[in-house]
């Protein structure tokens, strides 16, 4: 049994005040929006796990294929003694990387979900004698404080979650990652790639309706946390491809005119019939754009791998 430590940088009530601020800002704006991070309560995380196994949702399988084939190369290129994983969740895909990183001293999973970190972190520490697991409860889109661990460091941001950030947020995020790195450290980034529109839309609007349930779950979160009276059945799940921005947009479309009350915010929100609430942007990338954005952040692209079908990419860039 190796050491397992958990540090909470995020104050206990940060989640609550951030949710209030996000809901207030997002539902009073035009168009109405909600940030995707609020999908992931226990039920939402369960639904996302289910999504990753759907026939239409290829990104998880494509990324796993790359990790399986390339973990050794990634390990050799980075020589990492510390692996920091942003948005680690269940740490499931990371196992291939952990197996390949033979000189690894410390694994730092970072997530806003303390329960996911404790579960995954304890299991890993038990399985891997000699590996220090130092979990961090933190919001990696804010400024992060990392424990002092030996370099070289490898920061992994997998799953294509960078696509949830809007372009300006992405620029700020990459700059903050760059600021955590010393010369010789590296970033391993997972990005979903631009492809046929039908394939993309199906991945976000599956036949079994799991993504629809995942999308509507954010309303349940707001009902529970802020005492709101959203009726999930009064909204339709919508997934559209925005060709100009090259992103998938998930929306909840109000079926009829309705007013939703949010007592904790002293707010009543009117929705017109057919009015959209944007709940997620999932940007898709091209190789040149990934390279440009990394470059602009002061990260030099070193390697680029895709799955056999060219649907998803992992890139390794160095500080």
- Least distance (Å) between residue 38 CB and ligand AVJ: 12
246 CB-near residues (< 8 Å, 6+ apart): 194, 283, 284, 285, 286
Element (H, E) at 242: strand 235-242
138 among annotated binding-site residues = no
100 CB-near residues (< 8 Å, 6+ apart): 71, 72, 74, 75
30 among annotated binding-site residues = no
Q: Which of residues 13-52 bind ligand AVJ (CB under 6 A)?
A: 51
Q: Which is nearer to ligand AVJ, 26 or 59 (CB)?
A: 59
Compute CA distances 263 → 182, 211, 219, 227, whole Å: 47, 28, 14, 6
161 touching ligand AVJ, by CB under 6 A = yes
Spatial separation of the C-alpha atoms in residues 307 and 75, rounded to whole Å: 18
59 touching ligand AVJ, by CB under 6 A = yes
Tell me which residue of 226, 204, 197 sits closest to 17, measured CA to CA: 226
Stretch that binds ligand AVJ, among 74-82, 153-161, 177-185, 304-312 (CB under 6 A): 153-161
Q: Which is nearer to ligand AVJ, 134 or 216 (CB)?
A: 216
Buried b (16+ CB within 10 A) or exposed e, 163-172: bbbeeeebee
Tally Cβ neighbours within 10 Å of residue 95. Answer: 14
160 touching ligand AVJ, by CB under 6 A = yes
Stretch that binds ligand AVJ, among 72-80, 106-114, 135-143, 157-165 (CB under 6 A): 157-165
- Least distance (Å) between residue 164 CB and ligand AVJ: 5
Q: Which x/- pattern, by CB under 6 A, does the window 189-218 give for ligand AVJ?
A: ---------------x------x-------
Q: Which of residues 251-280 bind ligand AVJ (CB under 6 A)?
A: 280
Cβ(238)–Cβ(276) under 8 Å?
A: yes
Using CB under 6 A, pick the residue from 164, 301, 315, 317 that binds ligand AVJ: 164
User: Residues in the site for ligand AVJ, rule: CB under 6 A?
Assistant: 51, 59, 159-161, 163-164, 204, 211, 280, 282
């Amino acid at each position: 049994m190796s050491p397992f430590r958990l540090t909470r940088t995020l104050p206990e009530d940060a989640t609550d005040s951030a949710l209030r601020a996000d809901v207030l800002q997002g539902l009073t704006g035009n168009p109405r929006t909600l940030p995707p991070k609020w999908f992931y309560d226990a039920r939402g995380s369960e639904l996302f796990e289910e999504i990753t196994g759907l026939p239409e949702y290829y990104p998880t399988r494509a990324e796993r294929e790359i990790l399986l084939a390339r973990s050794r190369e990634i390990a050799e290129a980075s020589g990492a003694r510390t692996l920091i994983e942003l948005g680690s969740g269940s740490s499931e895909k990371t196992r291939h990387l952990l197996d390949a990183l033979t000189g690894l001293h410390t694994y730092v999973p970072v997530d806003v979900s303390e329960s996911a970190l404790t579960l995954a972190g304890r299991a890993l520490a038990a399985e891997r004698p000699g590996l220090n697991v130092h979990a961090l409860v933190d919001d990696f889109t804010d400024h992060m404080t990392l424990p002092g661990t030996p370099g070289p460091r490898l920061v992994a941001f997998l799953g294509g979650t960078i696509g949830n950030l809007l372009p300006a947020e992405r620029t700020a995020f990459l700059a903050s990652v760059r600021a955590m790195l010393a010369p010789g450290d590296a970033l391993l980034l997972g990005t979903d790639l631009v492809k046929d529109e039908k394939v993309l839309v199906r991945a976000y609007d599956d036949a079994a309706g799991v993504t629809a349930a995942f999308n509507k779950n954010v309303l349940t979160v707001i009902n529970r946390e802020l005492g709101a009276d959203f009726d999930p059945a009064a909204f339709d799940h919508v997934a559209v491809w925005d060709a100009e921005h090259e992103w998938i947009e998930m929306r909840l479309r109000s079926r009829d005119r309705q007013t939703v009350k949010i007592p904790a915010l002293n707010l009543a929100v009117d929705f017109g019939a057919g009015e959209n609430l944007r709940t997620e942007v999932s940007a898709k990338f091209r190789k040149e754009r990934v390279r440009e954005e990394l470059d602009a952040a002061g990260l030099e692209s070193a390697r680029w791998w895709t799955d056999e079908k060219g649907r998803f990419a992992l890139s390794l860039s160095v500080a």
